[in-house]
């Protein structure tokens, strides 16, 4: 290709030219600029190596700031509760305003952040009721159309109700071993989530399953519906599929103390098991008048009169029935903080809004309710021991087998940090060593029931309430 001009420099074209005759190449000596950039590159490389340490330090600093903000928020909430107890509305309002402002500095993803939102909202509702008129009388929680949904989501979100149902079922299975007619009375049937596992276990019992009667207590259904019967039909279908003779009867009542022994239609020769999961605390009231009788005493007397082989009781291991509002508020704040932390672990950190809404209702009742309006009156196991003992019931130890299997169950359905412990024959489900729920079993001190071969051990009730099936 023709060029319009010559290169400014060309190697000699003579192949005979000695390379030694060529001038030597100049030696390049780095100047100050080159040395600067070389040093800067080394510093950048060293800084990149230190970035993880810097990120970790920043994360630790953020955690410390959030912890400090969380502690300040807790103090503000407790100061607000103290002012409420003292009747200082202006002071309580000022502390509440500061608490609302402090919420912005706490991560809503943290356990204390989420639980503080609910307690702040409950205090706001107490100090500034939605309407000036007195609220209507509280309806039973189970009568709320949303309660069944939230209960189911709470069941799925954590190990608490699974632990309750499994432990109670294990105690019932052991108590009715060898009995041919079994009558279970459930104080809160809900969707009947507890009973499919028991029916299947009875189907596999050596010697064959017993005749099983289930009496489920629940709130009255809206017009045109029979929710108790619907649950009974589903359980009857399951029992039929596993060849268990089964009979169901629903008893509608707004409160447990409205139920009388004759309504349960207990028959001679039945092995009676009574089951209460998170129900008894709602029967506790403020100290009654000298001539009055507390609902909890009436219900426990009813249970004792049935002479059950076993009475299974699961309750929150908390003390939310203290007379002083500040003490009650403080206990509830730390209790539900632990529950929310454990929910996070069980869900892998994702949380569950519906399960938290189930707990939010309890929090609102504890904080806002006073007198007869307050229903969530959780008490610790030691107090239940005293109360059940006065009713003529004695403890039935939950054995090593129940403890081992409960630990396996909790390990399968929850994250690390949950623990199951045994104490004086009872089991507790806890979070990092703090007990959250307790399970215990009881029986009448004089149980004279014997098993029977007689047919017709199921009681006769109304046509709409009874369901029977046979394999």
pLDDT computed for residue 353 by the predictor: 86
pLDDT values of the chain reduced to their tens digit, one per residue, 471 residues: 444 444 444 444 444 445 455 555 555 555 555 555 555 555 655 555 556 677 777 666 666 667 777 789 999 999 999 999 999 999 999 999 999 998 888 877 666 778 999 999 999 999 999 875 555 555 544 445 688 889 999 999 989 999 999 999 999 999 999 999 999 999 999 999 999 999 999 999 999 999 999 999 999 988 888 899 999 999 999 999 999 999 999 999 999 999 999 999 999 999 999 999 999 999 999 876 555 678 999 999 999 999 999 999 999 999 999 989 999 999 999 999 999 989 888 877 666 888 999 999 999 999 999 988 899 999 999 999 999 999 999 999 998 889 999 999 898 877 788 999 998 899 999 999 999 999 999 998 765 444 444 333 333 333 345 676 655
Distance CA 143, CA 254 (A): 8
Is the pTM higher than 0.75? The answer reads yes
Fold of 159-317+378-469: Rossmann fold (3.40.50)
CA distance linking residue 413 with residue 405, whole number of Å:
13
Concatenated DSSP letters of 74-92: HHHHHHHHHHHHHT-HHHH
What's the rounded Cα separation, in Å, for the pair 423 and 137? 39
**Alpha-carbon span 372 to 247, nearest angstrom:** 37
Cβ neighbours, 10 Å, residue 283: 20
Question: How confident is the model at residue 384, as a pLDDT?
Answer: 96
Token readout for 337 is: 């903080």
CA distance 232 to 189: 10
Instruction: State the Cα–Cα distance between residues 340 and 122, nearest whole angstrom.
Output: 16
User: Domain coordinates of the chain in residue numbers?
Assistant: 62-129+320-377, 159-317+378-469
CA angle centred on 341, ends 340 and 342, rounded to 5°: 90
């Amino acid at each position: 290709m023709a060029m319009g001009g010559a290169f400014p420099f060309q190697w000699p074209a003579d192949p005979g030219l000695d390379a030694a005759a060529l001038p030597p190449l100049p030696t390049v000596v780095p100047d100050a600029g080159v040395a600067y950039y070389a040093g800067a590159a080394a510093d950048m490389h060293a800084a990149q190596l230190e970035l993880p340490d810097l990120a970790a330090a920043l994360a630790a600093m953020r955690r410390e700031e959030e912890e400090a903000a969380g502690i300040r928020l807790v103090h503000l909430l407790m100061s607000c509760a103290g002012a409420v107890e003292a009747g200082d509305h202006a002071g309580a309002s000022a502390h509440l305003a500061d608490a609302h402002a402090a919420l912005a500095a706490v991560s809503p993803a943290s356990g204390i952040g989420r639980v503080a939102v609910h307690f702040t909202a409950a205090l706001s509702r107490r100090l500034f009721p939605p309407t000036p008129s007195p609220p209507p009388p509280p309806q039973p929680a189970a009568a709320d159309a949303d309660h069944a949904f939230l209960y189911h989501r709470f069941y799925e979100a954590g190990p608490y109700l699974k632990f309750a149902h499994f432990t109670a079922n294990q105690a019932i299975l052991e108590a009715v071993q060898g009995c041919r007619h079994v009558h279970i009375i459930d104080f809160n049937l809900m969707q009947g989530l507890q009973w499919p596992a028991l029916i299947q276990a009875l189907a596999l019992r050596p010697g064959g399953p017993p005749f099983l009667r289930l009496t489920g207590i629940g709130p009255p259904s809206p017009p045109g519906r029979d929710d108790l019967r619907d649950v009974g039909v589903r359980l009857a279908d399951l029992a039929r599929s596993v060849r268990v003779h089964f009979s169901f009867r629903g008893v509608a009542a707004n409160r447990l103390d409205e139920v009388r022994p004759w309504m349960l239609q207990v028959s001679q020769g039945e092995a009676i098991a009574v089951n209460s999961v998170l129900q008894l605390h709602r029967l506790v009231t403020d100290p009654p008048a000298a001539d009055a009788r507390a609902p909890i005493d009436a219900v426990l007397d009813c249970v004792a009169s049935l002479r059950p082989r076993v009475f299974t009781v699961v309750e929150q291991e908390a003390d939310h029935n203290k007379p002083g509002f500040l003490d009650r508020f403080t206990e509830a704040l730390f209790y539900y903080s632990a529950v929310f932390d454990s929910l996070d672990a069980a869900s892998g950190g994702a949380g569950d809004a519906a399960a938290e809404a189930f707990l939010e209702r309890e929090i609102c009742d504890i904080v806002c309710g006073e007198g007869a309006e307050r229903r969530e009156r959780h008490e610790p196991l030691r107090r239940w021991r005293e109360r059940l003992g006065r009713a003529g019931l004695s403890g039935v130890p939950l054995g090593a087998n129940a403890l081992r299997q409960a630990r396996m169950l909790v390990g399968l359905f929850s994250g690390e940090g949950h623990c199951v412990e045994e104490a004086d024959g009872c089991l507790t489900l806890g979070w990092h060593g703090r007990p959250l729920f307790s399970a215990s079993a009881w029986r009448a001190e004089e149980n004279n029931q014997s098993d029977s071969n007689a047919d017709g051990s199921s009681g006769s009730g109304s046509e709409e309430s009874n369901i029977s099936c046979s394999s």
